A = this chain, B = another copy of it.
Amino acid sequence: MRDVSIIGIGQIEVGEHWGKSLRHLAGEAVLAAMRDASLEKADALYVGNMLSGELNGQGHLGALIADFVGLRGIEAVKIEAACGSGAAAVRMAYLAVASGLLDVVIAAGVEKMTDQATDVTTAALATAADAEYEVVHGTSFVSLNALLMQRYMYEYGVKHEDFAGFPITAHKNAANNPYAMFQKAISLETFKRAKIIASPINLMESSPIGDGAAAVILAPSDVARAFQPAAVRIAGSAIVTDSLAIHDRHDPLFLEAAAQSARKAYHQADVGPEDIDFFELHDAFSITAALSLEAAGFAERGNGAYLARDGEIALDGRIPICTMGGLKARGHPVGATGVYQIVESVLQLRGQAGKNQVKNARIGLAQNIGGSGATVITHILTAEE
């Protein structure tokens, strides 16, 4: 295999883009990444997307978007792994470049979720769960996570307020991110007064529905520097899966796939949690953030939320997370999220994160989760010397 680096990044502001269609959203992100890399062509485009068939009446996004950005003819497919689709597309691009068969591969993520009524979108999101053993009982995606959170608080005696630091930190970081859906801080009072969505999960700890797109361009590391002086190397990449249905897992409160996925990526990159300068984690809900911190080796079981309570996840804390706002405040256009995480990691490693720059950031961890932990994609990115 060849080493692989990221030579271009692009993203658009997450929001309600009623005036733009799917191809426009994805196209803007891809073209931004191509400008960033000073590239006018590529060998392939892999598109991460979860719901275009259900919500936009449009499949076949690979060819559609390749054509729209002026790359008609190149290899193009869509990759789906529920909310992990974005990083899964990056993983496929990584394998393609590593193989030596393709040199320049674009991985894009796009989702347009605000065209439909909320109940339609909620039902579509539930396709990430097990249709025959979970959804058939009337569960939605938030209700499944509410069950996990309830059990977590019961098992470990964690108070609901202990989770407040996750959305508060996310919103604080998003205030400085021009691509974030919610560019404003929230207070502890706002968190405490927020209405309940599915007990105990409240509105302020649920990631929002939004439209967005992001893209990264991968190339062999040995030529990457010619394209982009600040190329960032993909030092570790792994996808690990678990059962879709939470009740089928040996231990519902431990994200086994997240732990194994992180372990594989650490092993490949020859680093450990102690070497990570920041962690772009998948805070779809505050409980997901806590479980992710535990699975990736940053907290003992039952202690994940305390990292938020104690300020350790802040930009100057022990392990900064969601440095540009995370799913909660940057937004969570599901199939695009994993690519946003990689784009933001590259900004940190290039020293281009502005007011949110993590000091001396050299090694970043990005972890994207599909379903309630059934597909977990981990990437470790390093700044090239």
Contacts and interface: CB of A to CB of B under 8 A. Distances in A.
A92 interface: yes
Interface in A81-130: 81-82, 88, 91-92, 95-96, 98-102, 123-124, 126-130
Contact of A77 (B73, B92, B102): B92
Contacts of A67: 241-244, 248, 374
A375 to B, nearest CB: 5
How many A residues touch the partner, as a band?
35 or more
A181 B30 CA distance: 42
A81 B98 contact: no
Contacts of A91: 75, 77
A168 interface: no
Contacts of A241: 62-63, 66-67, 72-76
A308 to B, nearest CB: 28
A239 interface: yes
Contacts of A23: 132
A194 interface: no
A64 B130 contact: yes
Contacts of A281: none
Number of this chain's copies in the complex? 2
Contacts of A57: 123, 126-127, 131, 135
Interface string A4-31: 0000000000000000010100000000
A241 to B, nearest CB: 4
Contact of A81 (B77, B81, B128, B130): B77
Nearest to A128: B60
Contact of A80 (B1, B78, B374): B78
A162 interface: no
Given A1-B100, A1-B101, A241-B75, A21 B132 contact: yes
Given A67-B242, A375-B77, A60 B82 contact: yes
Nearest to A237: B101
A79 interface: yes
A384 interface: no
Given A1-B101, A98-B101, A99-B1, A239 B76 contact: yes
A272 interface: no
Contact of A51 (B53, B66, B130): B53
A54 interface: yes
Given A53-B124, A99-B98, A100-B1, A77 B79 contact: yes
Interface of A: 1, 21, 23, 44, 50-54, 56-64, 66-67, 72-82, 88, 91-92, 95-96, 98-102, 123-124, 126-132, 135, 238-244, 248, 256-257, 260, 370-371, 374-375
23 contacts: A23-B132, A57-B123, A58-B130, A60-B128, A60-B371, A62-B81, A63-B241, A63-B371, A63-B374, A67-B241, A67-B243, A73-B241, A73-B242, A76-B81, A76-B241, A77-B80, A77-B239, A78-B81, A79-B80, A80-B80, A92-B92, A95-B95, A99-B99
